[in-house]
Structure 1
Amino acid sequence: MKNARCTINRLPGEILAKVFEYVAMMTKVPSILKLQHVCRYWRRTLDIFPDPWSVVRVDETTKYEAIDYCILKSGSRPLTIAADPSPKVFEVLCKQLHRLRNLQMWSTGEDLDNEVLNLPAPKLEVLSCWCSPTDPYSTPPLPLIFGGQTPCLRKLVLGGFVSWSPQFRNLVHIDIFGWGDMEDRQESSTGLYDLVRLLQACPTLEILRLTDLDPWISWYNPSVSSRPADIPVNLPNLRQVFVARCSSGQAIKLFECFRVPRGASLSLERIHHPVTRGSNAITTILDANPSPFLNLADLRFLTISFAVESRFASWSGPSGQLVVEFSGALPQYQFLETFSLSQLSNRIQELVILDCPAIMGAEWGQFLAAFPALQKLTLRCESKSSGILPALSQDTGSSPRVHCPQLHSLHILDYLQLPTNPSSESEPFYKDILSCARSRHEVGYSIRDVRVTIRTSSNVGCMEKAAMEIGRFVEHVEVTQL
């Protein structure tokens, strides 16, 4: 009775079955067997919706009876099997190859030498194979899987294999992992050849994810890594590219091999630079050879997060998208330099800055100077005086000018502490907004729209009084409460 009143039992059977399917994927076979003994509703759900039974995780401790029971309950559903290669696993595979849709294996490389893998898998759509070799200096290549007879295969995930046989054709999704400790690992003797040939065989590719490029491109001297002559590869359907845990030199070498087409999203994560420790790694990659990045030709929107736990930048526009994740240990002033030096800033029209830090105005001035086309600025500040608002006022340098001359909208979000006295000269929040609006108005670069969103109701009336004074210099001022 207690279980019947649980929130999860209010879910429709179709949704509950999806939850059970996830449980089956994340746990071993006995877990899914136990679910049918919880209550009648769960047992009836498992009888009506057999998909959870079609997910089978096998290891040496799994009993044959449990495997057979799950396969029987799955009816004629396509099977997902996750396992370490073993005689028991190969016996199960041999009987169910005609139903196999998704296969996940964790291997040492040598244990893939089995005659079962020479048989065709006509319905296999996803193959994931991870290799942890017993001898890191002698990593075996991925052998021919299922005799190369996998006509429905669309997604390939490989981890730890230095090379593989040229068996894969017309894939839609490729996800390949190298190693993060190449000092103790074997490098590929063929360089980028295997990877490029794989891309050439998959003109239908839509998603490409590459992590740890060390086996194929040298971390210390990427220019010496060999590559085929017939590049760059044309991948017209490519929509997502993800590259992570490599050096800027490795990334430059990689992007010589293919182009990122217009409309695609490019994600770069944990890219290291040997000199500047990451601050200019992105601009180094993009400036070294801009021609592969067709998706970066027209980017108009930029979101920047300074949060230590999630420091990132996301550019987007009609031509595509670029997302870069930075290390939280990167100093904030070096983070700003990335955008000051990047040519991508020239066309940005809308800029959102999250967790806007308190940095000196001169550094904000250099940052804002890189955005001549900026029209709308949204700030979520972590302090009442970040330095960016004074930098938006008239530059008092040797050649006075106003940063972001096209700026017409300023939105400020989530101020938790507002001044108790709007006329107080000690309150930097009010002073900065008023000074910015007045200064730009006086030199003919007025901000037309100022909006402030706050979460503390006691300060709304105070800010409305301040808004009246700011309204002398802008067309529209609005204060709202979340």
Structure 2
Amino acid sequence: MYKTKLHKYSVPELDLMEQKLQLSLSLIRGVRNFLQPIHYLPPEVLTIIFYETQQHLPDFLPMSDPSPSTWHWLTLAAVCRHWRGLIATSPHLWSEIDSGTLPERFLKRSSAVPLKVYLGLKMYDMSEEILQSIVSQSKRFRELHLDAGSWEPSSGSSGSIFHRFTSPAPVLTSLTLITEGRDIVNGTLPPIFSGQMPSLRKLCLKHLTSWPRNYFQSLTHLCLYNQNPSTRPTMDEFLEFLQGSPMLEELALVRAGPTLLDVGPPQVPPSRIISLPHLRQLEIGEWPCASLVALFLSHIHLQSQTDMYFWGDRMLNAIHNSEDAGSLALLLPEDISKLENMKDIKKWYLARQPRVILDTPFVSVTGMENGEEGRTLYMYGTFNASQLIPAQLLSRYPVSGVVSLAVRDSCTHTSNANGLDVEFWKQVLERLPALEKLEILAFRSVGFTRAVIGALVPVVTSQTSLPCPLLTSLTIEHDVSLPAYFIRTVVETRAQFTSAPTRLKKLRVLVFEPNPQNDKPINQLRSGITSDGESSVGSNSDSDDTEDIRTENEFQTREEEEYRRHTEDDRKLLEGCPESLGEVEFEYGIPLSVGIVPETWPTRAFEWTRDNPVRRAVV
């Protein structure tokens, strides 16, 4: 009976039934899909959401985080037919062209919208065909970021990659050109876009030192780096170039910019000053010497809002044996009246640390954080004492109005405070009459805390001199070398020469925890596996090793208990002078040496121009 019913239908009839069934299932799925809440949104809103799922890079120095994939958003097209159709017909979703990812499809679907073009930044080889198809759309270029080293000319082709860009780029606002100098003669950029880039405002060039006249003017952002040393412009030529962009907001010069070619009379008259009233950020990195930076700054007029960053070994480390070689004072000109951003410095951070976390010395002057008024001066590096001679340093840096000073020293563990002794700090602190807050961040730097505190001792003569008479807050990092008795003695001595309102009101001690977040001994007992992967059960050596580890853990535990007892004794000792000292607070679990570099460091230009950048992939 069952077999007879099946035989009622022919094969074509069964095929038709199956086709109708599949169509019905597809219709049901489609209706169910349209009943989802997200599909109540208008298509325009959905495309905005899709656009926000894309990774959009800055138009200036467009670095990206390498962890997320740039093209994950394309998986949205696999969700349903409606989304796939909406994505395929939304040109602005296809407006970022990458030479390594389906460039032809993106060019076609982007229709006539302006383009962001990334050529070779992922180090894909670009074929002549792909390059020509992209270049033909130059009238739509809003951004072009090109690494010329990723292009290999095909056999029979002539000229460099730059010669391919011949048509005007009327809407181009941002341009990045990276080259190591192949097919570039004397660092000169060949003509591009017929010289017609009227909208260009942001420019980044590597290696190139010159270009056709009147090419790059009215810029707001400029980064030049790794320029050909033999063809860099003179100071006069570079100032002439800057004069054509009075609206500059960001300027970064890394192993680039003007050079001193002549020995003798100044090449540029001292009276020539270029005003950059809109400059928000100036960065100078790896220049051949600090004095060249000072010469450049002597011809620049900066407003109070300009943040400055200077970095590099040759600029900021002593390279000669002379007393003032590499002095940080040489970074600034003798006359800083035109550098209005150097006025009103209220905070000063001076940190000497080995190259552990940050491997590049730098000096910066930035605006205060959290909307506070005033400026902040940062000095960070492996500076030696000759670079920090107070008489030289403080003659250039206007720090007399500083109300907060934080000093950090962990270069070496020596008893003489790394050469910055009591006399050094006396010369510094006597020039800080407005100082109210002092932080001594000297964990494991034996002698440094004692040297700084010692400079606060009043000088008793016929006219007693009290360093930093307004000092009311003192913060110290604590370890086993905390000179608690010495601190108390200095505080009590100062109290004899100050009135109650100006005495030390608060002492904060940041206690280092020798074994934080530790529920077990640091040295765990080994598993019963030898280095050869064989079980060590029954081995005499295993028993001996276990005993050694147990002994080491017991010693470590005793050492930590002794440290904590010392800490408690120090706290009681310092709290024992309430008539001379206000609040005493021992704080635990506070990260040590916080805030010694600005939150904005490292800057984007520093990361972009590094010899071995961590992030250089674009899109």
Q: Same fold (TM over 0.5)?
A: yes
Amino acid aligned to 1:297: K
Note if contact 1:305-1:353 (Cα within 8 Å) is conserved in structure 2: yes
The answer (yes or no) to whether the contact 2:350–2:378 under 8 Å persists in 1 is: no
Q: Aligned ranges for residues 378-389 of structure 1 at < 5 Å? A: 378-383=439-444, 385-386=447-448, 387-389=451-453
2:518 equivalent to 1:474:
no
AA matched with 1:288: E
Kindly indicate whether the alpha-carbon contact (under 8 Å) linking 1:159 and 1:176 is maintained by their aligned counterparts in 2.
Answer: yes
Supply the distance in 2 between the matched residues of 1:349 and 1:42 (Cα, whole angstroms). Answer: 62
* Structure 2 match to 1:95: 136
In structure 1, C-alpha distance between the alignment counterparts of 2:179 and 2:270, rounded to whole Å: 29
Q: For residues 50 and 32 of structure 1, what CA distance do their matches in structure 2 show?
A: 18
Give the 3 Å change call, closer, same or farther, for CA 342–250 of structure 1 in structure 2.
closer
AA aligned to 2:231 is E
Match of 1:424 in 2: none
Match of 2:295 in 1: 253
1-structure distance, mates of 2:389, 2:76 = 55
1:69 pairs, out of 101, 105, 108, with 105
Q: Secondary structure at the match of 2:177?
A: strand
Deviation, structure 1 residue 85: 8.4
Residues 75-154 of structure 1 correspond to what in structure 2 (within 5 A)? 76=113, 78-83=115-120, 87-88=128-129, 90-107=131-148, 111-112=160-161, 114=163, 116-134=164-182, 138-154=185-201
Does the 8 Å contact 1:98/1:123 carry over to 2? yes
Gap regions ≥5 residues in structure 2: 1-48, 152-158, 368-372, 412-416, 517-563, 590-619
Moved more, 346-355 or 306-315: 306-315
Which stretch of structure 1 is more off in the superposition, 385-394 or 73-82? Answer: 73-82
* Distance in 2, Cα, partners of 1:21 & 1:260: 25
Q: How many residues align?
A: 442
Q: What residue number does 1:170 align with?
A: 218
- Aligned partner (choices 193, 196, 199) of residue 242 of structure 2: 199
Q: Provide the residue aligned with 1:439 in structure 2.
A: 493
* Residues 19-98 of structure 1 mapped to structure 2, 5 A cutoff: 36=74, 47=87, 54-58=95-99, 66-72=102-108, 76=113, 78-83=115-120, 87-88=128-129, 90-98=131-139
SS in 1 for 2:507: strand
Higher CA-based Rg:
2
2:304 to 250, 259, 262: 262
Cα deviations across residues 169-227 of structure 1 (Å, max 9, x unaligned)? Answer: 22110111244xx7xx5234x6234422332221211111112247x3127x5666745
In structure 2, what is the equivalent of residue 363 of structure 1? Answer: 424
Distance 1:454 1:162 in 2: 53
1:168, CA displacement in angstroms? 1.9
Q: CA deviation at 1:316?
A: 5.1
Contact 2:54 2:71 in 1 (8 A): no
In the alignment, what sits opposite 2:342? 296
Q: 330, 352, 364: which is aligned to 1:306?
A: 352
CA shift digits 1:28-77 (9 cap, x unpaired): 9xx8668857996799799599878544443xxx58xx221233455646
Amino acid at match of 2:246: P
Give the RMSD, CA atoms, in angstroms. Answer: 4.3
Per-residue CA deviations over 1:143-180 (Å, capped at 9, x if unaligned) read 3432232232221111212212222222110111244x
Preserved CA contact (<8 Å) 2:276 2:300: yes
In the alignment, the residues of structure 2 paired with residue 50 and residue 42 of structure 1 have an alpha-carbon distance, to the nearest angstrom, of 19
Equivalent in the alignment of 1:331: 384
Amino acid of the residue matched to residue 303 of structure 1?
Answer: Y
Partner of residue 230 from structure 2, selected from 156, 179, 186: 186
**Structure 1 unaligned residues grouped into runs of 5+:** 1-11, 419-426
CA distance in 1, matches of 2:456, 2:65: 55
Rounded Cα–Cα distance in structure 2 between residues aligned with 1:95 and 1:205? 31
CA gap 1:79/1:213 in 2 versus in 1, 3 angstroms = closer
Question: Quick one: structure 1 residues 313 and 431, their matched pair in 2 at CA, closer, same or farther if it must change by over 3 Å?
Answer: farther
Q: 1:298, 1:319 within 8 Å by CA — same for their partners in 2?
A: yes
Superposition TM-score, scaled by structure 2 size:
0.60
**1:139 CA displacement:** 1.1
**Shift in alpha-carbon separation, 1:344–1:481, aligned structure 2, 3 A:** same
Q: Report whether the alignment pairs 1:392 with 2:436.
A: no
Q: 1:316 to 1:57 in 2, by over 3 A?
A: closer
Report which stretch shifted further, 222-231 or 354-363: 222-231
Give, in angstroms, the shift of residue 97 of structure 1.
Answer: 1.8
Letter in 2 for 1:147: S
Distance 1:380 1:349 in 2: 17
Q: Determine if contact 2:235/2:268 at 8 Å carries over to the other structure.
A: yes
Q: Is the 8 A contact 2:349 2:379 kept in 1?
A: no
